[in-house]
Amino acid sequence: MKKLMIAFTSVLLASVLLLVTINRLNAVQGYSGSNTLTVFNWGDYIDMDLVEQFEEETGITVIYETFDSNEAMLTKIQQGGVTYDIAVPSEYMIEKMVEEDLLIPLDHSKLPNLKYIDERFMDLPFDEGNKYSVPYFWGTVGILFNTELLPDKTFTSWNDLWDPELENSILLIDGAREVMGMGLNSLGYSLNDTNPDHLQEALDKLVSLSPNIKAIVGDENKLLMANNEATVALVWSGDARDIMWENEALDYVVPVEGSNLWFDNMVIPKTADNVEAAHAFINYMLDPEIAALNTEYVGYSTPNEAALALLSEELAEDERFYPPPELTDRLEVYENLGKEMLGLYNELFLQFKMLIN
Ligand code: SPD
């Protein structure tokens, strides 16, 4: 009997230990059991109340992790240590992930709300037929500037940033494509230029801008611009929208030489453990009311036509954030330039960063 009791106690202890370990894995490493969903998204890019509502409605627990660049996201997915069920890469990265066989094809029959997406954002060259991805937000890259602290300055060209009066004033996005792209565009080159001499020229031009750079930052740009601690910033349009709600002295412009038109889409990576829940989450985010609330919260531009109709005119008709086709037609979408070329962009950006930070 005593032996039986010892055996029983050991089994009980082992089970408790196993449960504790699973719970810890759940909380700490993003381990995904069948009723959890691990979402990997950009920082400051969702209304967490909507995530909570999804949890309440479905009983699915969402583990939420953030990244601050496409490249950082890719590395984590390639490492495969976490069972990410959803990720939100940009267009050129989606193309690369498809190429590297990192994505699961979507089951459109489980995404009835896909019908609310504006045709303009469907079937784009980086994912024909939306086989792997569905639109989340879109936007441009441009200059955010403080009209009260810089009353005599106009910003129409990238080259306006090289004004000596802007010493120690400018914040840059911590992104290789964005910063190298600004250098390339300011010289009249394409954002997808693959000529190493042009890239070196772009770096040299950026180096000549370094006295004007205050910092290269992530989402901190919002606080710094909102609190008048910096006067100019290279930003994604949605961040501009969000910061301008905080500080009415700010304005946003897309320079005349051109800039980047980008698309962030939801995908299901091969790391997924709960493909069913991933489809449910994507479909939930595509619901017009949910997408409208999310748009009002984050400030980015929604590709969801039905959601757009629910937004205030002031937001939906602001051409700085919903630019008409005449403007978007002269912008460039990043292409997947291949491993070697993307490596060169990153290396040159790193050289620039080391000079600044
Ligand atoms: N804070 C949210 C940032 C999302 C930016 N995505 C834009 C990517 C453009 N390549």
Residue 35: per-residue pLDDT = 93
Pocket residue to mutate for ligand 1, from 171, 262, 263, most atoms within 8 A of Cβ:
262
Q: Is 219 in the pocket of ligand 1 (CB under 6 A)?
A: yes
What's residue 14's pLDDT? Answer: 46
> Which pLDDT score, from 0 to 100, does residue 231 have?
98
Atom of ligand 1 nearest to the CA of 141: 9
Residue whose structure tokens are 């954030």? 321
**41 Cα to the center of ligand 1, angstroms:** 10
Does residue 90 line the site of ligand 1, with CB under 6 A? yes
Ligand 1: centre distance to CA 51 (Å)? 19
Closest CA to 244 of 318, 159, 324: 318
**How does residue 357 score in pLDDT terms, banded at 50, 70 and 90?**
confident
State both tokens at 122.
């469907």
Residue 90 Cα: closest atom of ligand 1: 10
43 lines ligand 1 (CB under 6 A): yes
CA angle 265, 268, 273 (to 5 degrees): 155
Query: Bigger pLDDT: 10 or 154?
Result: 154
Reduced 3-state DSSP string for the chain: CHHHHHHHHHHHHHHHHHHHHHHHHHHHHCCCCCCEEEEEEECCCCCHHHHHHHHHHHCCEEEEEEECCHHHHHHHHHHCCCCCCEECCEHHHHHHHHHCCCECCCCHHHCHHHHHECHHHCCCHHHHHHCCEEEEEEEEEEEEEECCCCCCCCCCCHHHHHCHHHCCCEEEECCHHHHHHHHHHHCCCCCCCCCHHHHHHHHHHHHHHHHHEEEEECCHHHHHHHCCCCCEEEEEHHHHHHHHHHCCCEEEECCCCCCEEEEEEEECECCCCCHHHHHHHHHHHHCHHHHHHHHHHHCCECCEHHHHCCCCHHHHCCCCCCCCHHHHCCCECCCCCCHHHHHHHHHHHHHHHHHHC
Residue type at 183?
Answer: G
Residue 6: CA count within 13 A, CB half-sphere: 3
Say if residue 25's pLDDT is above 50.
Answer: no
pLDDT, tens digit (0-9, with 9 covering 90-100), for 189-218 = 999 999 999 999 999 999 999 999 999 999
pLDDT at 33: 45
pTM: 0.88
Supply angle C-alpha 102, 107, 112, rounded to 5. 135
**pLDDT confidence tier of residue 20, bands split at 50, 70 and 90:** very low
| pLDDT at residue 5, rounded to an integer | 42
Mean pLDDT over residues 169-176, rounded?
96
Q: Quick check: 177 and 260 in contact, CB under 8 A?
A: yes
Mean pLDDT for the chain?
A: 91
The answer, yes or no, to whether any atom of ligand 1 lies below 6 A from the CB of 262, is yes
Percent of the chain with pLDDT over 70: 90
Q: What percent of the chain has pLDDT over 90?
A: 90
Closest CA to 147 of 255, 245, 246, 249: 249
pLDDT at 341 over 60: yes
| Per-residue pLDDT tens over the stretch 280-321 | 999 999 999 999 999 999 999 999 999 999 999 999 999 999
